[in-house]
Amino acid sequence: MRLRAMAGIGAAGFGVAGLMMALFPAGATEAPGHILRWQDEQVVATGATIYAAQCAACHGAALEGQPDWQVRRADGRLPAPPHDPSGYTWHHPDAVLIDITTRGTAAVVGRGYESDMMGYGDSLTEDEIIAVLSYIKSTWPREVIDVHNDINTRAALE
Ligand code: HEC
């Protein structure tokens, strides 16, 4: 009797695991659309190192961006925006941030748009791109993280 009940629980457990695997494909940490691993200290530490080496020169050591970042330069290109909450980074769902960092802004926008934001798809692995963006997200205050989580959830439903 007791064994049977336990077997039943086991089967139910397997069912839930199977459903979770169907809903959340391998590699997804939380739910669909939530790709960045800002709660994983090791990923964030790796991301911080990559940020300092590859991104800080333009986006600033404290994620503050370049001066007058909203004003196009004489050559028509925009300066680097901040990645802190004063910029727009947190307005984009994870998938868009990863796409911009992988392919670069010119490729993402298209139509001959020119940008200093190059793609890192050839120089960084997908995990490294996720790590650097996870680091950026980990620096945001909790309210901004919550709003960004909602943006991810909504984007995944579209
Ligand atoms: C050579 C300077 C430069 C470097 C280095 C650089 N960026 Fe950028 N980045 C820019 C500029 C300029 C923009 C704005 C592009 C535009 O809108 O035309 C930008 C935009 C972005 C955006 C979009 C922000 C938004 O609000 O839409 C993301 C995300 C981003 N960069 C991530 C990174 C990451 C991650 C790194 C390091 C791996 C990096 N960038 C390195 C110049 C740079």
Please list every protein residue whose CB sits less than 6 Å from any atom of ligand 1.
Answer: 54-55, 57-59, 78-81, 87-89, 92, 97, 100-101, 105, 115-117, 120, 132-133
Task: Find residue 118's DSSP bridge partners.
Answer: 104
Q: Is 80 within 8 Å of 65 (Cβ atoms)?
A: yes
Q: With pLDDT > 70 as the criterion, what percentage of the chain qualifies? A: 81
Measured at the CA of 125, the angle between CA 17 and CA 98, to 5 degrees, comes to 75
Distances, alpha carbon 121 to alpha carbons 1, 108, 138, in Å: 57, 13, 22
- d(CA 100, ligand 1 centre) in Å: 8
Q: For residue 15, which amino acid is it?
A: G
Q: Which fold has domain 31-157?
A: Cytochrome Bc1 Complex; Chain D, domain 2 (1.10.760)
- d(CA 115, ligand 1 centre) in Å: 9
Nearest by Cα to 130 from 33, 59, 36, 30: 36
Give the per-residue pLDDT at 24.
52
**Going by C-beta distance under 8 Å and a sequence separation of 6 or more, which residues neighbour residue 152?**
33, 34, 35, 93, 94
Q: Is 4 within 8 Å of 10 (Cβ atoms)?
A: no
Question: Is pLDDT above 50 for 112?
Answer: yes
List, for residues 46-56, the tens digit of each pLDDT value: 999 999 999 99
List, for residues 27-77, the tens digit of each pLDDT value: 445 589 999 999 999 999 999 999 999 999 999 999 999 999 999 999 999
Question: Is pLDDT above 50 for 78?
Answer: yes
Question: Is pLDDT above 50 for 151?
Answer: yes
Residue 158: pLDDT band with limits 50, 70, 90: confident
Question: Is pLDDT above 80 for 16?
Answer: no
